Structure 1
Amino acid sequence: MHLLVALDDSEPGWAALEFACSEHSDDTLTAVHAVDPTNSGYGEVAHLGPDVLLERQREAARELLAEAEDRAADDGCALETETIVGQPSVAIVDYATTNDVDRIIVGSHGRTGVSRVLLGSVAERVARRAPVPVTIVR
């Protein structure tokens, strides 16, 4: 079975990786981090330019995924990694569709009520759009 772990640098994201390694260590695990070129801090694009900003995001992704590989190895788990580009929920579902993924594991930020309705969440959008089962880890 091929499992996709959608990883960001958050406590729920790391919990998703830990869950995948503990429950599915014999399966093929791929951790992906989505780099969103439209997501920038105030004025960053104007100041740095889109190419420099995207490269900084890619470098941060490389560091995050290297840490994921180290954590997985500490848990005795083999992990492939991939940086994907695009709006996270769309990029995650697209990756799962084109790479024969059997299940997606994603961390939940635990939003409830009005904040969930107004802000939405990557986990919720992935769960609604994914062509495969999705496990949301708290």
Structure 2
Amino acid sequence: MIDRILVPMDDSDHAERALEYALENFPDADVTVVHVVGAPSMMMGEAASLALADDFEAAAAERAEGVFERARALATDRGREVDTVVGVGHPARNIVDRAEGYDTVVIGAHGADRGRATRRFLVGNVAETVSKRAPVPVVLVR
């Protein structure tokens, strides 16, 4: 039985459809929406990274709020609630690490990089990596 579902979300249509799929097909499961924000990189320069690090967690939470508002609205429309969590770092790695403790991951086949050439492929980079490395079953939603 599937009791806990992790749904990674960004601002893509596929991510929204993944959440809709999870809410409709697993009506009794607890759903957690994760939005992963990339961390400042040392490539930016040490001083810039350190300056950003102080406010980065707050900025990441603020950036994720728009995604979470949409997720909560979708859940409310279906008489459901979702938990939300902000991840920081590399999206695929963060999702795979976080998947431990969940029964399944439901992820959109493509993320918000709609303008890139990767769009023509069947599965986006993050979704492909998560599907290959997650310690739990992964449902890809197109």
Common topology (TM > 0.5): yes
Deviation of 1:67 (Å): 2.2
Q: 1:131 is aligned with what amino acid?
A: P
What CA distance in whole angstroms lies between the structure 2 residues aligned with 1:9 and 1:24? 22
What CA distance in whole angstroms lies between the structure 2 residues aligned with 1:71 and 1:24? 14
Q: 1:63 is aligned with what amino acid?
A: G
Q: 1:68 aligns with which of 67, 71, 79?
A: 71
* Kept after mapping to 1: 8 A contact 2:6/2:102: yes
Q: Deviations over 1:9-50 (max 9, x none)?
A: 1000000011111111211111111111148xx9xx95xx52
The answer to whether the aligner puts 1:37 opposite 2:39 as a matched pair is yes
Partner of 1:92: 95
3-state SS of 1:136 partner: strand
Partner of 2:133: 129
3-state SS of 2:65 partner: helix
Structure 1's unaligned 5+ residue stretches are none
* Kept after mapping to 2: 8 A contact 1:31/1:79: yes
3-state SS of 2:20 partner: helix
Partner of 1:26: 28
Partner of 1:50: 52
Structure 2's unaligned 5+ residue stretches are none
* Kept after mapping to 1: 8 A contact 2:60/2:88: no
Q: 2:86 aligns with which of 83, 108, 111?
A: 83
**What is the RMSD of the two structures over their aligned residues, measured on CA atoms?**
2.8
TM-score, structure 1 normalization: 0.79
Choose 54-63 or 125-134, whichever is displaced more.
Answer: 54-63
3-state SS of 1:126 partner: helix
TM-score, structure 2 normalization: 0.77
Deviation of 1:71 (Å): 1.4
What CA distance in whole angstroms lies between the structure 2 residues aligned with 1:71 and 1:63? 13
Number of equivalent positions: 129
Stretches (4+) displaced over 4 A: none
Q: 1:133 is aligned with what amino acid?
A: P
What CA distance in whole angstroms lies between the structure 1 residues aligned with 2:132 and 2:98? 15
What CA distance in whole angstroms lies between the structure 2 residues aligned with 1:22 and 1:86? 30
